[in-house]
Structure formats: structure tokens, C-alpha cells
Amino acid sequence: MANQDELVVINMQIKEQYNIEGMHCSACSSAVEKAVAALDGVSFAEVNLLLKSLHVEFDSDRTTSAQIIKAVTDAGFAAKLKTTTAGTASNGAGSRNGSSAPSESAVQRNSSDVRSITSVRTGSDDADSGMQQEEVHVLKRIIWSIIFLIPLMYITMGHMVGLPLPAFLHGTENSVSFALVQLLLTIPIIVLNRSYFSNGWKGILRKSPNMDTLVALGSGASMVYGLFSLFRMSYSLGAGDLITVASYRENLYFESAAMILTLITLGKYLEAKSKGRTTQAISSLLELAPERALRLNADGTETEVTSAELIVGDRVVVRPGQRIPMDGRVVEGQSAVDESALTGESMPVEKHIDSEVTGGTLNTSGSFVFEVTRTGEDTTLAKIIDLVQNAGASKAPIGRLADKIAGIFVPAVLFISVITLAIWLISGSSIELAANMAVSVLVISCPCALGLATPVAIMVGTGKGAKMGILFKSASALEGLSHTGEIVLDKTGTVTTGKPAVSTIITKEDNNDFLTFAASLELPSEHPLAHAVVTEARDRELSLIDVKEFQALPGNGVQGIIDEDSWVSAKPSYLQDMGIDLSEFLPVGEEMSL
């Protein structure tokens, strides 16, 4: 027991990820980052605008999750906790069917592991589902917006290229009808894309104007000016002032309001589509981990369980063609495991007792039993998935620069618009002309791509790299690659296609005859080299022969009987142990392997 004068302080560094709702541009993400970073004890806060997520690292003794969520809420957004990771990793050690029950801390760790591996899969599923829903929703908006925009643009711009207008819209005397039709076609587009106005207004209220604010002001000002022009035309038409009617007829701005909203929505759709594609790399990694596993009980029976139920110390049976559910150590049997999905090495790795196996890899030949040593977020596969996610969530230096520019861009545009209005008024111009010029500044200043181009490029780059087996540790590493002059690779399967193929056949017999017998013998085998031999025979359209008494030689090869003769296909050392002379072929094989 410690003395009263002794004080033990444990600083627990926590990493948490949150789903953020309500963000639409880099100004929004910047507002969230600033609000969370201002909390006491927060050492790191970074927002991924594309994934709409927040990654936070903080001291749990000084800040809580509730305070973080409150800070995000006060900034005008909604936050929901996604994952939590303690600063100290746990082994999740426990026991099952043993002589003693696991400790309370062990049970807690095991429970954490189960939640962790489940959250990795469900979190990605939720993200994929959310992105698909977002993509469909935005697609519907853009389709209906275009349906109304096409006739609107025809009416407003068609006569400029010689296209005819209906009689009731032609001429100065029909200017009010001309404006009303444009208004009726613009209103549905405004309603479909009303979210820009609500989000933009929220940005103004929380004193953090964003790109939606600029879009709303640009399109809103165009709409208001169009309504003002409509009333001026009605008044002037009644007063017989056709000159004023004609001047306002050509400057209604309804089409500008509709075009701004439609083009920005099109950008949102392309953004949503890009996000959906980049998450496919993470989904493909998640598919490597099997959802079910065969747990070996203490009495020797097998029970099929979900992979999330496995804990450290469990023994799992893996048969040929099955994927390994968790990291572990082989305790019974031997086999060859295909680790190409994680390492890039195309050749299977031989596994025997005490060999380490990795979750997500494929057992290709014999059956074996392994003991689970790591579960949940501690597994190699989970760390690789986390690496890909963090790379997509991290910001490259150029991305941070874009965010800084975007943070001051909106206020700068608003300031320039006000200055434009003031200068034209001071110069003696009419209020209508001054307002027209100020609106023009707002209309042409809606570059949402400023805050989206960099994160989209990073997400696409890291996602494409993951599909090709290349993992970037951070966005900075990806950006730095553009300055790389030379790339040095070690001599492994990472520089191959990842799939073995027959390139040369060396034999004293006819090549096709030899390949026929070799492929017939290898046909029942699950080994990648056997598949390569069989594929070559089928490409040459050779007829294979039935094999009797086929037997796999774990770690060595296969054997069987073809036409009453015994055949063996095995590695050189095994054949030499059988007394077969390979002195004529070994030098050639060694030379080809260089």
C-alpha cells in the first residue's frame, strides 16, 4: 500500500475518431478543428472533409469526449463518437475453458478487442452506405436541376444564337411574361438546393462564413436582383417606359442563380463519386478477414464462431482454401500460406510449428491449428487498414495551405463585393448599376474546388495505391513522391505481378508431353505453383489425365499414379533425397532464378 505522501500520476493519451455532420467545405472543417484544438488537453485535432470525420488525440485527465462533442456542437455541427483507442496497447490476454477465470482487466481488454474489430468492419460499412446514399441523393438533385436549367438557359440565351422564342415571350411588350417564366423555372432549382442557403446562414450566425455562404450570397443576390428587375419592368411597362423595360429584360440574373447552384451541385456529385471509389480500397482489405472461424475446444471438438468472438489463447483450425482470421502461432500441422495480399510476395510461405501466421492471409495446402496471439486493432491487417485510413485523413502541406487560403477567401470576397458597391456609388452610378456590379463579384467567386481539390487528389492517390499494393504512411509522403528521382526496391515479390506463371520448360522429353503429366499431377493441388502449371497446360489446350492415389507432401510437393506409373512433383531437395540425379538441371535453374 502506498504512503499518503506518494502521488502516482498516469497520463492516459486517448485517440478518438468522430463522425461529423454538417460540414460542406474547408471553412467548415477549419471551424471544427479550431473549436476542438482550443480545448485544454487536446494535442492533435484534424478533420477529413471528404470522409466527414474528426481525429482527436487528447489527455483524458483534462478533456472528455463529451467536451469534444460539445465544442463541435457549439461550432454549429454535430459529432458522433466512432472509435476510441487508448495510448497503451493491450494484449487482450484471457482464458477460455481453462482452470482459472480471466482477470477483470483481461475481460475488459477482450471486450475492447471484440468491439475494435467489429468497429473496423461496421465503420467502413457505414461509411460506404452513407457515401452511396449521399451520391444517390446528390445525383437526383443534379438531374432535376438540369431538367429545369435546360429550358431556362434556352429562354435566356437561345435568342443569342438564333434559336426562336415562343411568341408570348418575344418582344419588349412581353418582358414580364419573359421574366415570370424564368422565375418559375428558377424556383424549383432554389428549392432543390436550399441546403446551401441554410448552411450559409448558419455560417454567418456562428461568425464563420464558409463556401456555402458564398454560394448562397451569389445565387441569392442574383435571385433578389431578378425579382427587383421584374417589379421594375412591371412598373415601367405600366408607365409606358419601354426603354427601361428593355434594359432590365436583358439583366434579370435568374439564370445565374440557377447555374451557380446547378454547377456547384454537379461538383458535389463528382466529389461524392470520388469518395465512393476511394473507400473501395479499404473495403477490399476488410474482405481479407473472414467473418467466421473454427475454434478448437478443449475436448477436441470444433465450434464455428464469428471472428470477433476469438480472444488471445484460442486455438483455431484452418483448412486448405480458408483465410486465417487472426494473427497467431502454429501449434499443430504445417502448410503453405499465401501472404501476397499483405506483403506482395507472390510465393506461398511455408508454415510449421511455432511459425507466425497473419490474419487475412490464405492457407493454400495443408490443414493446421494456430493459437491466437493478437486480436482486434492489434492485428497486422487492422493496422494496415488504419494506415490507409489515416493516410486518407491526413493533410499534405499543400492541403494545409489550401485550407488557410479558403479560410480567408470567403470574408475577402464579401469585402471586395462591398468595396465594389461603394466605389460605384461614390463614382455617381445608380444604385441599380452598383448593385449589379456587386452581385457580379459574388456570382463569379464560388470556387468550392479550392478546398476540395487537394483532399480529393490525396484520397484518390492513396486509394489507387492501396489497390496496387502500395501503402502511403501519410499524405506528406504522397506529396513528397512528386519530387522523387529514383526508387529502390528490394528483391521480393513486390516487383512481380503477384501471380506465378510458367516461363520456361527444361526437359529431355517433348515439352507438351512433359507438361501434360505435370499438370495432371498438379491439378488436385491448391498450391499457386500448381495453378501456374495447370494454367499453362490449359493455355496450350492439352488434355489432362486422371490421377489416382493423389497425395500432398506438405512443404515438399505432390505425388500420385498416372497410367499405373508413380509420379512425383516436388522441390529439388526432396527429389535428391529420393536418389534422383538433378545435376544436369540445377545449374540452369539457379541461373534462371537470378
Looking up cell 513522391 gives 481
Cβ-based neighbour number of residue 174 at 10 Å:
18
Nearest to 463 by CA among 219, 279, 192, 261: 279
Cβ-based neighbour number of residue 546 at 10 Å:
11
For 163-201, give the DSSP string: ----GGGSSGGGHHHHHHHHHHHHHHHHHHTTHHHHHHH
C-alpha cell at 61: 485527465
C-alpha cell at 422: 461603394
Residues 321-337: b if buried by 16+ CB within 10 A, e if exposed: ebbbbbbbebeebbbbb
With 0-12 / 13-18 / 19 or more C-beta atoms within 10 angstroms meaning exposed / middle / buried, residue 222 is: buried
How many CA atoms does the CB half-sphere of 520 hold within 13 Å? 21
Marked catalytic residue, from 354, 490, 565, 581: 490
Nearest to 534 by CA among 568, 500, 583: 500
Give CA torsion, residues 464, 466, 471, 473, to 10 deg. 70
CA distances from 385 to 48, 326, 462 (A): 16, 14, 12
How many CA atoms does the CB half-sphere of 307 hold within 13 Å? 27
> Is 490 one of the annotated active-site residues of the chain?
yes
For residue 107, which amino acid is it?
A: V
**End-to-end CA gap in the chain:** 65
H or E segment at 62?
none
Q: Which residues are catalytic?
A: 490
